[in-house]
């Protein structure tokens, strides 16, 4: 019997009702307005309103930013969507290198044990370096190659907390 080849359709995801990356869990400056923990984006309407300047939002960070859940449906399960899991996962690069790691930021709640367990298992299995936030403070689980570089990033971040 001959096999039928089906076209491979890449899974795509949408932000939908999620606005976690605009709520101040990540730090950014949008036009001249700073966003940081305790200070959501100035242009985010409370409730279901979303971005009030969507068509005119700046390229950096707004248009360019996508979280890892949105970017990589093959890796990150549906239930890790930021507004369901209360974590935002972002792929990051060490300055002046091609080395990457993932930043896991608490977004509205303490990092859940089941979420942390899934992330640890994935990081260990894939030899992926991570920097994760637990109870506000940042920690790392990194390959020897990245350990020192991520530790330096963490020291700076934890100084601000």
Compare residues 62 and 123 and give the one whose CB is closer to ligand SF4.
62
Least distance in angstroms from the C-beta of 2 to ligand SF4:
41
Residues in the chain: 161
Contacting residue, 80, 87, 88, 111, with ligand SF4 by CB under 6 A = 88
43 binds ligand SF4 per the rule CB under 6 A: yes
Of the candidate spans 41-49, 98-106, 119-127, 139-147, the one that interacts with ligand SF4 by CB under 6 A turns out to be: 41-49
What does the per-residue mask of binding to ligand SF4 show for 49-68, with x meaning CB under 6 A?
A: --x-x---x----x---xx-
Least distance in angstroms from the C-beta of 46 to ligand SF4:
11
DSSP result, the chain: -PPPPPPP-------TT--GGGTTSS-EEETTEEEBTTB--TTEETTTTEETTGGG--IIIIIT---HHHH-TTTS-GGG-HHHHSEEEEEEE-TTSS-EEEEEEE-SSPPPHHHHHHHHHHHHHHT--EEEEETTEEEEE--HHHHHHHHHHHHHHHHT-
Least distance in angstroms from the C-beta of 155 to ligand SF4:
26
The site that binds ligand SF4 (CB under 6 A) totals a number of residues, namely 20
Alpha carbons 7 and 20: distance in angstroms, whole number = 34
Compare residues 57 and 139 and give the one whose CB is closer to ligand SF4.
57
Alpha carbons 122 and 118: distance in angstroms, whole number = 6
Compare residues 66 and 75 and give the one whose CB is closer to ligand SF4.
66
Which residues bind to ligand SF4, rule: CB under 6 A? 15, 18-22, 30, 41, 43-44, 51, 53, 57, 62, 66-67, 69-70, 82, 88
């Amino acid at each position: 019997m001959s096999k039928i080849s089906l076209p491979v359709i890449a899974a795509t995801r949408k932000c939908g009702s999620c606005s976690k990356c605009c709520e101040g869990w990540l730090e950014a400056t949008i036009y001249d307005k700073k966003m940081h923990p305790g200070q959501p984006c100035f242009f985010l309407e409370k409730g279901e309103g979303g971005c009030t300047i969507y068509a005119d939002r700046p390229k950096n960070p707004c248009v360019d930013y996508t979280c890892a859940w949105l970017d990589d449906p093959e890796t990150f399960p549906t239930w890790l969507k930021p507004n369901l899991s209360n974590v935002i996962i972002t792929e990051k690069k060490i300055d002046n290198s091609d080395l990457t790691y993932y930043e896991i930021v608490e977004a509205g709640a303490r990092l859940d044990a089941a979420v942390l367990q899934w992330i640890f298992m994935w990081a260990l299995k894939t030899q992926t370096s991570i920097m994760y936030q637990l109870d506000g403070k940042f920690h790392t689980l990194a390959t020897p190659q990245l350990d020192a570089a991520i530790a330096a990033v963490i020291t700076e971040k934890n100084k601000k907390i």
